[in-house]
Amino acid sequence: MCFSKSSTHGGNIYEVSREFVVKEKDIVDFSANINPLGLSPLAKKNVVERLSLQRNYPDPDYLELRRAISGYLNVPLNDIIVGNGATELIYLFFRSLKPSSVLIPIPTFSEYERAARLAGCKTRHFLLEERDDFRLSSNKLIRNLEGVEAVVLCNPNNPTGTVLPKQEIKEIAHFCKERNILMLIDEAFVEFVDDESYAAAVGLLGEFKNMIVIRAFTKFFGIPGMRLGYGITKSVKIKEAIQSFKEPWSVNGLAAAAGIAALGDEEYIKKSKSIISVERKYLLEELSKFSWLKPFSTCANFILVKILDKEISSSALRQKLIPFGVLIRDASNFLGLNNSFFRVAVRDREDNDKLILALKKCRGA
Amino acid sequence: MCFSKSSTHGGNIYEVSREFVVKEKDIVDFSANINPLGLSPLAKKNVVERLSLQRNYPDPDYLELRRAISGYLNVPLNDIIVGNGATELIYLFFRSLKPSSVLIPIPTFSEYERAARLAGCKTRHFLLEERDDFRLSSNKLIRNLEGVEAVVLCNPNNPTGTVLPKQEIKEIAHFCKERNILMLIDEAFVEFVDDESYAAAVGLLGEFKNMIVIRAFTKFFGIPGMRLGYGITKSVKIKEAIQSFKEPWSVNGLAAAAGIAALGDEEYIKKSKSIISVERKYLLEELSKFSWLKPFSTCANFILVKILDKEISSSALRQKLIPFGVLIRDASNFLGLNNSFFRVAVRDREDNDKLILALKKCRGA
């Protein structure tokens, strides 16, 4: 027993580099779904400029950061709360609102489950089926909502890449509104969707006060190391609950500096959307050429892949690829998946080709 | 009702600058107790060097950082847990161990109270008396421990600056061990004590397994904006509880980078200890010269001061000093104090002289 806890998530290049005695920089990380452009140049500049200011505590109200988000999404300042990554807000949602039960469509990001359980909230699962390409049907979901006090929608969903149109979210929201069911919509990957407005639920907040939309800088703005997320809601109940449980200064000043500048970096935003759109298509096509692989179509910056050859497991494939300098996400520990599934991030052309080559070398087309 | 929440702590230069329409950089902040040297040069360098690495998630095990702490304090790696500031660990202590009641000597840092209450833990107060110069007597404290499940010791104590010798902590620890009372010892300011070993409880951890020592980079290493703290314990129970409630990647990668480098910056550490030792003495002497002020002796990098003139309150004095570019901490909202008390940080000579001059100008000697 020790304080160390290996992550069950993607992105743990440290463990891999320790285990395989390779340098972290020599591993191309397809296991975490991060913008391949890295930090925005304006964000980088602002962080360096504000380094000396870290001798002060962060503004406990994070006004400048919240103003930047307010401008970026055209939402009122007072509807925005910032967090130490989206993770902090997910945990705060369950800890402060204490729903007795929550419906979670699976497979999905595992922290909803953990956050709910730690807050004493019972979890009920709604299985997204492989035969439906893991697509969520709002009608089916609604039939399973009876009796729960909250529902989580990850949109686009991790690890499946499927997206629920705003129209269907609205149908679910109507049902939830009538029955006072809280809705947590995690849009950590929504900026990667080609037509963002097709999915983004921010526009629904005015009509549905039982809803919080959570977003992250982590993925699209490429700063998982710096920890920055935010939530938007018009619900006084949700605002007051989260605020009363929030720890002071949870967002560090450098992440705030990066976020403020990144939201204004229009060139970076445009370039990021474009590279993911092009490379997602390319990587999907290339992966489809392997007879032993089945990639699922995706709206996000990652692709879920099924290994059709029963002789090879996702964990074995992950191990096999590491010596080629490629780290994939073994997706077998997602509830609702098994050891035939892995997930890869969409990266830039050079990296994506490295993945395709490694897959060819380790197993053949 | 909005998501904004003004801090009741020191260090909120943002609110002051908004209220008084002055620039943040034009205010000398005596309200937060931060090393006047600012960031260590080695820390600053390491942060800039590792900026690009923030495109990766932090190592969930924070091995490099924990190794650095392990070397700094000569404690085993597996006894160390890192946090998003000491604050995260204080909240985790109560949330995960769920003591039904805690004894808190007051006046002290207010987050123990809030963290306990949010976890459903009843708080009992032990009043440090002004007539004892707010010194804690271990015998008196022990007589008040009967029936509680936890006790918090802030050592040196904020805002009084008093320090409890290790020998007296040991007496309390013996009593707590027999009765299975958990001990949280917050040493956020211990590195400012001239003879650190006189106070530091790390050496007691082997004998007393019911104890966790929490430390921070915030104050001594001057990075409140970056959020970095850690806890040390040999208790399997405490380790397992905290680990099971801890959110993933709570420490951001740049804070980790700063921490790793700062612990190795021996010149900065030496210089910091020296400047605080000299300036604490100087500021105490200068403050003693005011007939209407009574500064209390202190072992930390801040001084609690009583206003002897009943005509002037701490909040009024704070307001009066702002136009002189000086921000003090109105200490009236500390449980156990009243509006005759304020607190000032020990800063460098130039700043300290600015405080003295402002006090003279606003009221006379």
- Separation of alpha carbons B112 and B229, rounded Å: 15
Q: Could you read off the pLDDT of B286-303 as tens digits, one per residue?
A: 999 999 999 999 999 999
Helix (H) or strand (E) holding A173: helix A166-178
Q: Do A226 and B253 touch (CB under 8 A)?
A: yes
What does pTM read for this prediction? 0.93
CA distances from A40 to A37, A221, A223, A261, B215 (A): 8, 7, 9, 8, 34
Taking the Cβ of residue B77 and every Cβ of chain A, the question of whether any pair is shorter than 8 Å is answered with: yes
Exposure of B258 in the CB half-sphere (CA atoms within 13 A): 31
pLDDT higher than 70, residue B6:
no
Q: Which of B10, B60, B84 sits opposite A84 (nearest CB)?
A: B84
- Cα(A10)–Cα(A328) distance, rounded to whole angstroms? 8
Residue B4: per-residue pLDDT:
43
CA-wise closest residue to A242 among A82, A63, A57, A49: A82
Share of chain B above pLDDT 90, in %: 90
Lowest mean pLDDT of A45-54, B3-12, B28-37, B256-265, name the range.
Answer: B3-12
A107-151, pLDDT tens digit by residue? 999 999 999 999 999 999 999 999 999 999 999 999 999 999 999
Q: Do A164 and A173 meet the contact criterion of CB atoms below 8 Å apart? A: no
For chain A, give the longest Cα–Cα distance. Answer: 57
DSSP state of B62: -
Q: What is the mean pLDDT of residues A181-204?
A: 97
Model pLDDT, residue B17: 79
The rounded percent of chain B whose pLDDT value lies above 70 is: 97
Distance of alpha carbon A222 from alpha carbon A200, whole angstroms: 20
**pLDDT bracket for residue A365 (50, 70, 90):** low
Q: How confident is the model at residue A51 (pLDDT cuts 50, 70, 90)?
A: very high
Per-residue confidence (pLDDT) for residue A361, from 0 to 100: 94
Q: Which residues of B touch A81 (CB under 8 A)?
A: 3
Distance from CA of A144 to the nearest CA of B (A): 29
Query: What ipTM was assigned to the predicted interfaces of this complex?
Result: 0.90
Q: DSSP secondary structure string, A220-268?
A: TTT-TTT--EEEEE--HHHHHHHHHHPPTT-S-HHHHHHHHHHHT-HHH
Which residue in the block uniquely carries the two structure tokens 């970076």?
A268
Please, what is the average pLDDT of chain A?
94
Task: Looking at the complex, report in whole angstroms how far the Cα of residue A39 sits from the nearest Cα belonging to chain B.
Answer: 7
Q: Contact at 8 Å (CB) between A233 and A206? A: no
Q: What is the pLDDT, as a whole number, of residue A4?
A: 42
Fold of the CATH domain B13-39+267-363: Aspartate Aminotransferase, domain 1 (3.90.1150)
Distances (CA, A) of A332 to A119, A347, B361: 26, 22, 70
The per-residue pLDDT for A24 is 73
Q: Is the peptide bond before A76 cis (omega within 30 degrees of 0)?
A: no
CB–CB of A241/A97 below 8 Å?
A: yes
Reported as type and span, the H/E element at residue B82 is strand B80-83
Does A9 sit within 8 Å of B248, measured CB to CB? yes
Minimal Cα–Cα distance from A168 to chain B, Å? 29
* Burial bucket for residue A110 (CB in 10 Å: 0-12, 13-18, 19+): middle
**Contact by Cβ (8 Å): B80, B274:** no
pLDDT digits (tens, 9 = 90+) for B116-175: 999 999 999 999 999 999 999 999 999 999 999 999 999 999 999 999 999 999 999 999
* CATH-assigned architecture of domain A41-263: 3-Layer(aba) Sandwich (3.40)
| Residues in chain B within 8 Å Cβ distance of A246 | 5
**Bridging pattern class, strands B182-186 and B150-154:** parallel
Contact A60, B16 (CB under 8 A): no
Contact B70, B77 (CB under 8 A): yes
| Residue A354: Cβ-neighbour burial (10 angstroms; 0-12, 13-18, 19+) | middle
* Residue A85, helix vs strand vs coil: helix
Q: What does the pLDDT read at residue B243?
A: 96
Q: Residue ranges of the alpha helices (H) in A21-134?
A: 41-49, 63-73, 85-97, 111-118
Q: How far is A311 from chain B (nearest CA, A)?
A: 32
Task: Tell which of A5, A25, A35, A56 to mutate to test the B interface (max B CBs under 10 Å).
Answer: A56
Among A45, A54, A226, A232, which would you mutate to test the B interface (most chain B Cβ atoms within 10 Å of its Cβ)? A54
Residue of A nearest to B12 (CA): A59
Residue of B nearest to A237 (CA): B1
**CA dihedral sign of residues B40, A58, B239, A123:** negative
Work out whether the CA dihedral B32, B36, B40, B46 comes out positive or negative: positive
Task: State residue A122 phi and psi, 5-degree precision.
Answer: -75, 140
Q: Calculate ∠ Cα B255-B257-B262, nearest 5°.
A: 90
Packing angle, helices A111-118 and A85-97, rounded to 10: 30
pLDDT band at A189 (very low <50, low <70, confident <90, very high): very high
8 Å CB contact of A12 and B77: no
pLDDT digits (tens, 9 = 90+) for A56-82: 889 999 999 999 999 999 999 999 999
In this predicted model, what pLDDT tens digit does every residue of A271-327 receive, in sequence order? 999 999 999 999 999 999 999 999 999 999 999 999 999 999 999 999 999 999 999
Q: Is the pLDDT of residue B7 over 50?
A: no
Of A225, A243, A250, the CB nearest to B253: A225
What's the pLDDT band for A20 if we cut at 50, 70, 90? confident
Residues A346-362, mean pLDDT to the nearest whole number: 97
Q: In the prediction, which pLDDT does A12 show?
A: 86
What does A108-168 look like in DSSP terms, one character per residue?
Answer: --THHHHHHHHTT-EEEEEEPPGGGTTPPPHHHHHHT-TT-SEEEEESSPTTT-----HHH
Contact B87 A14 (CB under 8 A): no
| Mean pLDDT, residues B236-257 | 95
| B285 CB burial (10 A radius; 0-12, 13-18, 19+) | exposed
Q: Where are the domains of chain B?
A: 13-39+267-363, 41-263
Contact B226 A6 (CB under 8 A): no
What pLDDT digit, counting tens, does each position of A232-277 carry?
999 999 999 999 999 999 999 999 999 999 999 999 999 999 999 9
Q: What residues 34-73 of chain A have any CB closer than 8 A to a CB of chain B?
A: 34-35, 38-39, 44, 47-48, 51-61, 63, 66
CB-based contact B252 A9, cutoff 8 Å: no
Residues of chain A with C-beta less than 8 angstroms from the C-beta of B242: 3
- Residue of chain B whose Cα is closest to the Cα of A54: B225
On the question of a cis peptide bond just before residue B295, with omega within 30 degrees of 0, the verdict is no
* Residues whose CB falls within 8 Å of the CB of residue A323, separated by 6 or more in sequence, listed in order: A20
Closest CA to B228 of B86, B29, B338: B86
Note whether A6 contacts B60, CB cutoff 8 Å. Answer: yes
Query: Band of the pLDDT at B3, cuts 50, 70, 90?
Result: low
CB B110 within 8 A of CB B258: no
Enumerate the residues of chain A whose CB falls inside 8 A of the CB of residue B222: 55
pLDDT of B273 = 97
Q: DSSP 3-state assignment of B248?
A: coil
Indicate whether B16 pLDDT > 90.
Answer: no
**A227 chain-B contacts, CB cut-off 8 A:** 84, 249-250, 252
Is A55–B77 a contact, with Cβ atoms under 8 angstroms apart?
no
Give ∠ CA A229-A233-A236 in degrees, rounded to 5. Answer: 125
CA separation for the pair B249, B241 (Å, rounded): 17
Phi, psi (degrees; rounded to nearest 5) at B59: -60, 115
Rg (CA), chain B: 20
Residue B8 pLDDT: 73
Chain-chain contact of A57 with B239 (C-beta, under 8 angstroms):
no
Q: B21 pLDDT exceeds 90? A: no
Write down the mean pLDDT value for chain B: 94
The CA-CA-CA angle for residues B103, B104, B107, to 5°, reads 155
Q: What is the maximum alpha-carbon separation in chain B?
A: 57
- pLDDT digit string, tens, across residues B308-325: 999 999 999 999 999 999
Mean pLDDT of A334-342: 97
- Other C-beta atoms closer than 10 Å to the C-beta of A357 total 12
Residue A19 has pLDDT above 80, yes or no: no
Q: Phi and psi (nearest 5°) for A289?
A: -75, -15
Q: Residues B78-115: pLDDT tens digits? A: 999 999 999 999 999 999 999 999 999 999 999 999 99
Residue pairs between chains A and B whose CB atoms are closer than 8 Å: 223
CA dist., res. A226 & res. B56, Å (int): 9
String of DSSP letters for A291-302: TTEEEPP-SSSE
pLDDT of residue A2: 43
Contacts of B96 (CB under 8 A, 6+ apart): B241, B242, B244, B245
Task: Give the separation between CA A119 and CA A100, rounded to whole angstroms.
Answer: 9
Where does the pLDDT of residue A6 fall: very low under 50, low under 70, confident under 90, or very high at 90 and above? very low
CA–CA separation, B331 and B313 (whole Å): 10
Interchain CB distance below 8 Å, B52 and A38: yes
